[in-house]
Amino acid sequence: MKYITEFNFKRGYIIYPTLVVVVGVFDNNLRANFMSCVWNTALSFEPPLYGVSISPKRATHDLILNKKAFSICFYPFEKSSDVEFFGTYSYRDTDKSKNVNLIKGVKFDVPIPFDAYAVLECSLFDYKTYGDHTLFVGEIVVIHYDENSTYNLFEMPALDLNKKKPVLYLGNGAYITVDEKTILNLRK
């Protein structure tokens, strides 16, 4: 196997494909902002924690610090153009929520878009800067889901891949998804 020791990780497409989520947060006037985030991960079962890594250059960064709550939205592949839009344009210049049908969260004032097949409503549990990004850790307090797109949230697979497929990011504006025919269940 070859290796390199000098590289520009900003162009490190070897880490893709990866699941892309959309982070939602309201400003003080309840204007919703959405930002696509490919650096995201589950962090803990108990308490239930989910992390998103966001640059301080992004408007979403300061909105989360101010509101102390945010949503993590899982969009279906057929809405990839929305995911790209949320990740390309800035809240500072564009009203990204103008064409989004949404409601407010159950526990917190966070945007819950109807186009997502699942949304994690989170309170800000912790945050820490690593390099040029801040890892925001959200404690999941409510799970919103589209009952027509899911089986049982606590069984595998939770998502009915015949109805909705997740958005995976390949880098540089390219997206892909999964095929239910490629599922290999090794724990039967």
Q: What is the pLDDT of residues 128-165, one digit of tens each?
A: 999 999 999 999 999 999 988 877 777 777 888 888 99
pLDDT mean over 38-66: 98
Q: What angle do CA 129, 127, 29 make, to 5 degrees?
A: 110
Measured between alpha carbons, how far is 71 from 38 in angstroms, rounded to an integer? Answer: 15
CATH of domain 17-182: 2.30.110.10
Instruction: Select the more confidently predicted residue: 156 or 45.
Output: 45
Question: Which pLDDT value is given to residue 7?
Answer: 84
Give the pLDDT confidence score for residue 8 in this predicted structure: 83
Residue 22, pLDDT above cutoff 80: yes
Average predicted confidence (pLDDT) for the chain:
94
Neighbours of 95 (CB within 10 A): 12
Q: pLDDT-based confidence at 183, cuts 50/70/90? A: confident
Strand ranges of the sheet holding 168-171, from the earlier edge strand across to the other edge:
18-19, 168-171, 174-176
Q: Tell if the pTM clears 0.75, that is, is over it.
A: yes
Q: How many CB atoms lie within 10 A of CB 32?
A: 23
| CB proximity list for 44: less than 8 A, separation 6 or greater | none
pLDDT at 180: 80
